[in-house]
Structure 1
């Protein structure tokens, strides 16, 4: 089993590049950090999608029996800290292949969450986890939305990315295909012309679009939806956080 003890090792230098968008695009790989996410990947991804696991001796002693089918490289605590994108690290990482996918025509069924220019990793992760919890089929990462392979997004999703389908696609293209398949598409906006989300009958097949944290949904997309929904504000707050609003609506309209 290979052991790396130098921060100047070529593999370590290449590994650190996966913490950048440019590095991930060039290699078509991404980096998972923490035993929880590595274990989720092992349990849910095809084996060939997990390229290499880098681990400290301590983590290997704890989890080595679950890593026997993968290439494992041992690293020091110092190198683990060098690789990590967090201030404290557990000392275990997995390099995985990137497979950006689009939806096939026969997949436009089920409950879908569509993210239009949502940029905060915490919000994205919370919405993916909520979609998972609410029984959604998948989440579409539209234009302007932070990448599902961003390290902060990966941590925030907490493994839910392995339980539902994540797709990178233009929201407009998805709306057109959904409407062709007679699947209702709900937008979200603070507008008197929108309808109260509580008026929507719970269903299994629909799409819900959540927009940018500061600007909301793109106005063009709002004009292309089946209906646009709002959540009545009963107190004095002007609006809800996008992830909170998504959770409220998802659990209400998913059958």
Structure 2
């Protein structure tokens, strides 16, 4: 399928208008660069990150943030992929395994460009604010749930996991590409808001059902073990909690955030 391609470094233009390359060695400089994207340091330095799997690559292509598509040499490019003007690199299976984070890669990956979001880019409607959420799975799940619940943007405070961590990206299932995700000092960010800000805390909080639904709000949830910092809770309009009716001590932060996002939206 790649017999018309030139090995390593050279490329040809095909009728489909994307550039094809073929790499067979894990020692290739491009492969080494891809592998470095597994580290936050390199992601921050380059402004790029690596995704893998058919669904994520397809969603990223729709949003036009893909710089390169990387495909196993024995795979056909899915017909639904919109890859015009995008570089496609076919690789041997051991190259794909070397760059991917999962144990059994699906055979397709992509290098994407990080998106820079500023305060003025944020629709001030329904916001999710996250304070020091450290678990990648929880962070990705909340971004995915925020997307499903029609939240306009997700704001990451200090101490949160890197949003471009491979585990976070996979957990978002493409929602990372659908809505703005911005890093900010939450204390300063809250000071700029002119809408109800609801924290999550048992002490000094009220059951969430006592709050009226709203067209605009900011929901603030916190660290898996410590919750929201006292400094931020002091800035909220009201703090909420979800009653526990069984014997469990608490809810997973991602589950709690989902319940509250769906309840608060009007």
Q: TM (normalized to structure 1)?
A: 0.92
How many Å separate the matches in 1 of 2:159 and 2:206? 26
Gapped runs of 5+ residues in structure 2? 1-19
Conservation of the 8 A alpha-carbon contact between 2:123 and 2:153? no
1:162 maps to which residue? 177
Q: 1:34 aligns with which of 25, 29, 53?
A: 53
| Alpha-carbon shift at residue 65 of structure 1 (Å) | 5.9
Is 2:79 aligned against 1:60? no
- CA root-mean-square deviation: 1.5
CA distance in 1, matches of 2:81, 2:149: 33
The corresponding residue for 2:196 is 184
Between the aligned partners of 2:79 and 2:90, the Cα distance in structure 1 is 13
Match of 2:132 among 113, 117, 138: 117
CA distance in 1, matches of 2:81, 2:228: 47
Instruction: Give the conservation status (yes or no) of the 8 Å contact 1:124–1:243.
Output: yes
Which secondary structure does the structure 2 equivalent of 1:237 belong to? coil
Specify the alignment match of 1:145 in structure 2.
160
Deviations 1:43-77 (A, max 9, x none): 123xxx32111111344343486324311111011
For normalisation by structure 2, the TM-score amounts to: 0.89
In the alignment, which of 240, 243, 251 is matched to residue 254 of structure 2? Answer: 243
Equivalent residues in 2 for 1:94-109, closer than 5 Å: 94-104=110-120, 107=122, 109=124
Structure 2 residue 188 is the aligned partner of structure 1 residue 173: yes
Which aligned runs of 4 or more in structure 1 are off by greater than 2 angstroms?
Answer: 57-69
Instruction: Identify the residue that residue 233 of structure 2 maps to in structure 1.
Output: 222
More helix by share: 1
- 1:126 corresponds to 2:150: no
2:86 equivalent to 1:70: yes
Of structures 1 and 2, the one with the larger relative CO (CA 8 A, separation 6+) is 1
Shift of 1:116: 0.2
Is the 1:5–1:76 contact (alpha carbons within 8 Å) kept by the matching residues of 2?
A: yes
Residue number in structure 2 paired with 1:212 = 223
* Count of residue pairs brought into register by the alignment: 247
Tell me, yes or no, if the aligned pair for 2:122 and 2:180 is still in contact at 8 Å. Answer: no
For residue 96 of structure 2, the aligned residue among 77, 80, 99 is: 80
